[in-house]
């Protein structure tokens, strides 16, 4: 048990140190030596937990996606308030986008790279499927209780994913702008509000 705890602490230390390095000097300027130096660990310890810097970055991305999901905890959403909860998503995203800051280009770069890298695509698809399943279930509940108009839940989730990628692009082009928050709310309303015409 002590060994497992030490291993977990070491892994978290690597992730935290890498996140600090990526935020400070960027993904491409950070190498494994820099991460190990900040974490005060050997390269052997690094490679015991992660096969590469890219593997580590994908773990950070996965944790980030999980935090996004926590912002919209379906278990806490009142049955009649699902649309309202979804409309609040942009405000929840805002601090998360600020947190990743200059790593947004790397996220998009990895998505593009995954088109020609089968192993990377497998990892990226895992995150994609998690996102789609999460929002499919939320939209399904809303359709069932009438707070969201009749729409195929999976299609709605796929549109929300496309919107999220668009938000990433908007964040790259206008990093200090907050108008994407209002634009996202309007998009969710147009897509899901039962008062909107199909």
Q: How does residue 74 score in pLDDT terms, banded at 50, 70 and 90? A: low
Record the tokens describing residue 138, joined without a space: 């939320």
**How far apart are the C-alpha atoms of 145 and 196, rounded to whole Å?**
16
What does each C-alpha distance from 20 to 15, 63, 100, 115 come to in angstroms? 9, 15, 10, 28
Q: Which residue has the higher pLDDT, 53 or 65?
A: 53
Helices 104-113 + 53-71 axis angle, to 10: 110
29 belongs to a structural domain: yes
Q: How does residue 115 score in pLDDT terms, banded at 50, 70 and 90? A: confident
165 by DSSP, 3-state: which? helix
Q: Which of 1-15, 61-75, 113-127, 128-142 has the lowest mean pLDDT?
A: 61-75
Co-location of 58 and 151 in the same domain: yes
Record the tokens describing residue 46, joined without a space: 């690094």
Co-location of 40 and 93 in the same domain: no
Co-location of 5 and 102 in the same domain: no
CATH number of domain containing 141: 1.10.357.10
197 belongs to a structural domain: no
Mean pLDDT of 13-42: 91
pLDDT tens-digit profile of 29-43?
899 999 999 999 999
pLDDT tens-digit profile of 117-147?
888 888 788 878 988 998 899 899 889 988 8
Helices 53-71 + 118-145 axis angle, to 10: 0
Domain count, the chain: 2
20 membership: H or E segment, kind and range: helix 2-25
CATH number of domain containing 5: 1.10.10.60
Co-location of 7 and 29 in the same domain: yes
138 by DSSP, 3-state: which? helix
**How far apart are the C-alpha atoms of 178 and 180, rounded to whole Å?**
5
Range of 6's domain?
Answer: 1-50
123 belongs to a structural domain: yes
Is the pTM here over 0.75, yes or no? no
- For residues 147 and 194, the answer to whether their CB atoms sit within 8 Å is yes
């Amino acid at each position: 048990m002590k060994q497992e705890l030490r291993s977990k602490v070491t892994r978290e230390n690597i992730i935290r140190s890498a996140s600090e390095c990526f935020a400070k000097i960027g993904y491409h300027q950070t190498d494994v030596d820099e991460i190990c130096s900040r974490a005060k660990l050997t390269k052997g310890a690094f490679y015991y937990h992660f096969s590469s810097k890219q593997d580590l970055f994908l773990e950070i991305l996965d944790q980030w996606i999980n935090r996004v999901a926590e912002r919209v905890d379906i278990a806490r959403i009142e049955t009649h308030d699902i649309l309202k909860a979804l409309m609040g998503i942009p405000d929840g995203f805002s601090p998360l986008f600020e947190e990743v800051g200059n790593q947004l280009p790397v996220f998009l770069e990895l998505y593009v790279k995954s088109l020609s890298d089968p192993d990377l695509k497998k990892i990226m698809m895992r995150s994609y499927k998690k996102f789609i399943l999460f929002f499919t279930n939320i939209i399904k509940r809303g359709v069932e209780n009438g707070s969201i108009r009749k729409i195929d839940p999976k299609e709605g989730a796929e549109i929300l994913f496309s919107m999220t990628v668009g938000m990433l692009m908007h964040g790259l082009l206008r990093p200090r702008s907050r108008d994407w928050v209002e634009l996202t709310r309007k998009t969710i309303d147009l897509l899901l509000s039962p008062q909107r015409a199909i």
